[in-house]
């Protein structure tokens, strides 16, 4: 593992995307606990794409237009559905009165957000091999190690995003109008991500 890999990983992870956006939404909707769970779920959602890249399945997605398009359209629909849910949602004045969302539901949403983005498989297919030297006698082991490092960085960065957002939550939940504005901004963010995925090319 090189410093170049760590710096590149940090830049990629820190750049806001659908996972970071969902973690922020979870933090504002359910507080620090929900934020940490969402960060964990987004990290889990990376695993299938990294496995696909390591085992050559990502190349199949790249080579088969219909498979790529099917996953892409499912991802677009899911992001739009998330945007609609946020647009309609609201928070009670008393945060303690809100029911806690079950952890598995938060994780399921986070995993689906990443799973239904075929660009991630292609990204890792292009990204990880750059840091595996031709002389490496165990390239799959190296890619697995780099993948774990990438996941660890992802979890830490997303958790920090979530904790920071949850710190602002108390000042928002008692102001329904402000919370409504924030929800709609997040909703708009998901629509922007859906638009980017709609315009994505293989």
Task: Specify burial of residue 4 (Cβ count, 10 A radius: 0-12, 13-18, 19+).
Answer: exposed
Check residue 97 and give its pLDDT: 40
Is 7 within the bounds of a domain?
no
Is 107 within the bounds of a domain?
yes
Is 95 within the bounds of a domain?
yes
Is 124 within the bounds of a domain?
yes
Check residue 96 and give its pLDDT: 41
Task: Specify burial of residue 135 (Cβ count, 10 A radius: 0-12, 13-18, 19+).
Answer: exposed
Q: Which residues contact 184 (CB under 8 A, 6 or more apart)?
A: 86, 87
d(CA 9, CA 61): 23
User: How distant, in Å, are the alpha carbons of 46, 65, 155, 177, 201 from that of 69?
Assistant: 19, 6, 28, 39, 10
d(CA 200, CA 196): 6
Q: Which residues contact 169 (CB under 8 A, 6 or more apart)?
A: 27, 28, 31, 95
Check residue 98 and give its pLDDT: 46
Check residue 18 and give its pLDDT: 84
**pTM for this one?**
0.76
Structural domain that includes position 195: 20-199
d(CA 112, CA 94): 30
Is 4 within the bounds of a domain?
no
- Ramachandran area for residue 56 (φ above 0: left; ψ -120 to 50: alpha; else beta): left
Tell me if residue 201 falls in helix, strand or coil.
Answer: coil
User: How distant, in Å, are the alpha carbons of 24, 68, 89, 108 from that of 160?
Assistant: 10, 32, 24, 20
Is 15 within the bounds of a domain?
no
Check residue 201 and give its pLDDT: 62
Is 3 within the bounds of a domain?
no
pLDDT tens-place values along the chain, 202 residues long: 678 888 888 888 888 788 888 998 888 888 889 999 999 999 998 888 888 777 766 566 666 677 777 777 877 887 888 788 777 765 443 444 444 568 888 899 888 888 887 667 777 777 777 787 777 777 778 888 888 899 999 999 999 999 988 887 766 656 667 667 777 777 887 788 778 777 766 5
- Ramachandran area for residue 201 (φ above 0: left; ψ -120 to 50: alpha; else beta): beta
Number of domains, the chain = 1
Check residue 174 and give its pLDDT: 60
Is 130 within the bounds of a domain?
yes
Check residue 123 and give its pLDDT: 76
d(CA 167, CA 31): 8
């Amino acid at each position: 593992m090189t410093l170049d890999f760590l710096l590149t990983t940090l830049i990629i992870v820190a750049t806001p995307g659908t996972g970071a956006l969902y973690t922020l939404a979870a933090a504002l909707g359910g507080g620090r606990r929900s934020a940490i769970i969402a960060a964990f779920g987004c990290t889990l959602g990376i695993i299938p794409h990294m496995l696909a890249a390591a085992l050559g399945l990502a190349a199949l997605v790249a080579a088969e237009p219909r498979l790529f398009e099917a996953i892409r359209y499912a991802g677009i629909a899911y992001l739009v559905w998330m945007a609609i849910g946020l647009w309609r949602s609201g928070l009670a004045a008393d945060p303690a009165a809100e029911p806690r969302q079950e952890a598995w539901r938060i994780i399921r949403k986070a995993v689906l957000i990443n799973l239904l983005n075929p660009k991630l498989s292609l990204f890792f297919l292009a990204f990880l091999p750059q840091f595996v030297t031709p002389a490496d006698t165990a390239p799959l082991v190296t890619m697995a190690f780099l993948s774990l490092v990438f996941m660890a960085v992802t979890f830490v960065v997303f958790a920090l995003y979530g904790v920071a957002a949850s710190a602002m939550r108390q000042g928002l939940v008692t102001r329904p109008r402000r919370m409504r504005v924030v929800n709609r901004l997040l909703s708009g963010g998901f629509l922007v991500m859906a638009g980017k995925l709609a315009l994505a090319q293989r």
